Amino acid sequence: MSPFSYGLNASTVRGTPVLDQVRIAALAGYRAIELWYADTDAHLTGGGSLGEIRRAVADAGLVVPSLIYVAGWFDCAPSAWPSVRDVVARRLAEAAEIGARHVICSPPAGRADLVTGAGRYAELLGLGRSVGVEPSFEFLGFVEQYRSIDDALAVLAHAGGGTTVVDPFHLFRGGDSLDSLSRLRADQIAVSHFNDVTGSVPRDLQGDGDRVLPGDGILDLRDYCRRLRATGFGGVLSLELFREDLWARDPAEVARVGLEKMREVVES
């Protein structure tokens, strides 16, 4: 038995329409699906509705731990902040209509003032409370400044609350050890993405496309799961890959194999 719920991040089957993503995740045996705004926007442009997505998710017996993602909010110019905040508020409302629990908020690519960014995150948390969706601040191992668990915790501390997203790839890419997971509480983790990393590319040169299926890389994912569980987290472990070779394959097969690989690691 797994201490986590298995989820499929829609990035893993990119190019598949959103309603098919939901169907594929359910048929493969996942209990959750992370959706991307790019795909929900495409559904709306094609004449669909957010209500259709919500009904499809409910009918499939899935949950949506997060919608991905909003950017450009942390370090935008002060004059632009009111309009950016309005965009994020709309995204939060869309997430609420779908039934998502969180919206992932990306960090700036370069350096940016902590106090300003955390203050804006605090405002987004307030907007989220008004619609029942929590913005979650994600650190990314390949950005310049907000690339580690400690960086994320600094934002949360200055904002007076919130959550982050953990991901083996970003821990590795940002130079964190697995010990850093012990600095988080379960209630500070919105979702855990899940993947392995190749050993054929130097760590500091790796990008999203260098993630591989769990068990196919060099990370000790069993230890990652043990340490994640030690925080008290028992939420969604979501398979997140960005591989063109997988996008070219049958998405149902990719989802099936991905879940098998996750179970091999987590339940062994």
DSSP-assigned letters across all residues of 111-128: ---HHHHHHHHHHHHHHH
**What is the Cα–Cα distance from 255 to 132, expressed in whole angstroms?**
29
Average pLDDT over residues 226-246: 98
The predicted model gives 100-122 an average pLDDT of 98
Average pLDDT over residues 55-83: 98
From the number of C-beta atoms within 10 Å of its C-beta (0-12, 13-18, 19+), residue 49 rates as exposed
Q: Which two tokens stand for residue 178?
A: 């697995």
Residue 200 has phi, psi (to 5 degrees) of -95, -5
Measured on CA atoms in the order 255, 260, 261, 265, is the torsion positive or negative?
positive
Answer whether residue 1 shows pLDDT above 80.
no
For residue 135, what are the β-bridge partners?
A: 103
Is it the case that residue 190 has pLDDT exceeding 90? yes
pTM of the predicted model as reported, rounded to 2 decimal places: 0.97
Q: Which domains does the chain have, with CATH numbers?
A: 5-266 (3.20.20.150)
pLDDT tens readout for residues 79-91: 999 999 999 999 9
Tokens describing residue 176: 């964190």
pLDDT for the residue numbered 268: 85
CB distance 103 to 136 below 8 Å: yes
Digit-coded pLDDT (tens) for 31-42: 999 999 999 999
Residue that is written with structure tokens 């149902």 in the block: 252
Q: CA–CA separation, 113 vs 142, rounded Å?
A: 18
Amino acid letter, residue 193: H
Work out the pLDDT band at 233, boundaries 50, 70, 90: very high
User: What percent of the chain lies above the pLDDT cut of 90?
Assistant: 99
Q: What is the mean pLDDT of residues 236-256?
A: 98
Tell me the C-alpha distance between 154 and 107, whole Å.
13
Rounded percentage of the chain residues whose pLDDT exceeds 70:
100
Number of residues in the chain: 268
How many other C-beta atoms can be found within 10 angstroms of the C-beta atom of residue 54?
Answer: 16
DSSP state of 187: G
Band of pLDDT at residue 2, cut at 50, 70 and 90 = confident
* Whether residue 173 has pLDDT greater than 80: yes
